[in-house]
Amino acid sequence: MMMYDKLPVVLLMGMASARQDSINCQIASYVLAHMDDLSGIGIVELAKRCHSGTSSISRFCKEIGLQDFAELKELLAGNSLRFQRTDHYADHVIESIGHAADSVSLQAVRSFCHDLDRFTKVAIFGILKGAGIVFNLKTDLLMLSKPVFTTMSFHEQLEYLHKAGKDTLILLFSHTGSYFEYVEARTLSKNRPKIYMVAPAGTVPDPAVDTYIYFESVRDQISHPYQMQYIAGLIAQEYAALHPAVSRIWK
C-alpha cells in the first residue's frame, strides 16, 4: 500500500524545504489547497492565481523534481491527500517497531557502518518524514565524531546525487521504497556514488542502489517514521560499537 501519491510528496517536500515567504512555498501551498480544481487550467492561469509569473511556475516544477508544467498537470489529474487515523495509535506504533526490530538485516546495517567508517564523503537523505529521521541520525553520528551531509531540500538532494562520485557514500531512507520515482536515477554520474537504501521488504530493487537495508512493514502512515527511526538508531548503535573510545555504555 502506497502512503502517498507522487504529487503530494513533491509538493510537501517543496513546502518543507522552502522559506515560508518564498514563491515556491506559495505555489506549493496553493496547489495543495486546490488540487481538485486545477486539472483544467493552464500555466498562465496558475501563475495568476499564485500571484507569480509563468517562469516562476516552470522553475518551481523543476525544483520539486518534475520535468515541466505538463507533468504537474498530468499528476493533478489523479492525486489526492489521505491521512490514516486509528484509535489504537500507541499499540500500532509499538507493533510496527517490533516488526522492524525482528526483521531488519543486521548484516546490511553492519556493512553500511563499515563503509561509513571508511568513506570521508558521506550524505544521508530522506523525503518528508524521512528527512527528520536523517537529522536525528546526523546528530548521533556527530556525537560519534562522524560528520555527514544532509539537506531537507529535495532540489539540493538531487543536485548532490548528480554530482557525487565513487568517493562518496549515500544512505537513503524511503518508507515506500520509491525514492527513485522522484529522481531520474539514470542521469546519475557513471562514476556514481555507493548507495544504500533503508526500505521495506518487497521493494522492487533499483539499479541505482547497491545495497538495501530491508525491514518488514505494512507501509502505512502510522508505522512511518517509527520503523525507520528505529533503524537509524540501530545504525548509530552499530557504528558506536566500532568506536568504543568515543561512545559510552549506559548502565
For the chain, give every domain's residue range: 6-76, 89-246
Helices within the chain (DSSP H only): 6-17, 23-33, 43-49, 54-63, 69-76, 89-103, 106-118, 129-143, 154-163, 226-242
Higher per-residue confidence, 106 vs 218: 106
Q: What is the CATH number of domain 6-76?
A: 1.10.10.10
Looking at mean pLDDT, say which of 75-84, 155-164, 177-186 comes out highest: 155-164
Sign of CA dihedral 147, 150, 151, 155: positive
Across residues 153-178, what is the average pLDDT?
88
> What value does the mean pLDDT take over residues 226-237?
96
Q: What is the pLDDT of residue 1?
A: 37
Q: Looking at residue 81, what is its pLDDT?
A: 57
Q: What is the mean pLDDT of the chain?
A: 84
Q: Give the mean pLDDT of 221-248.
A: 89
- Whether 3 shows a pLDDT value over 50: the answer reads no
CA-based nearest residue to 171, from 223, 97, 119, 226: 119
In the prediction, which pLDDT does 226 show?
Answer: 93
Specify the pLDDT at position 10. Answer: 62
CATH architecture group of domain 89-246: 3-Layer(aba) Sandwich (3.40)
> Could you tell me if 172 and 183 are in contact, meaning their C-beta atoms sit under 8 angstroms apart?
no
Read off the pTM: 0.75
Residue 219: in which H helix or E strand, if any?
none
Q: Indicate the pLDDT class of residue 18, thresholds 50, 70 and 90.
A: low
Contact 240, 144 (CB under 8 A): yes
The percentage of the chain sitting over the pLDDT mark of 90, rounded to a whole number, equals 45
State the pLDDT confidence band at 159, using cuts at 50, 70 and 90: confident
Residue 184 has pLDDT above 80, yes or no: no
Mean pLDDT calculated for residue range 205-215: 92
Of 2-11, 67-76, 181-190, 192-201, the range with the lowest mean pLDDT is 2-11
Residue 21 is placed in which grid cell?
515567504
Q: How many helices (H) and strands (E) does the chain have?
A: 10, 4
> Predicted confidence band at 149 (pLDDT cuts at 50, 70, 90)?
very high
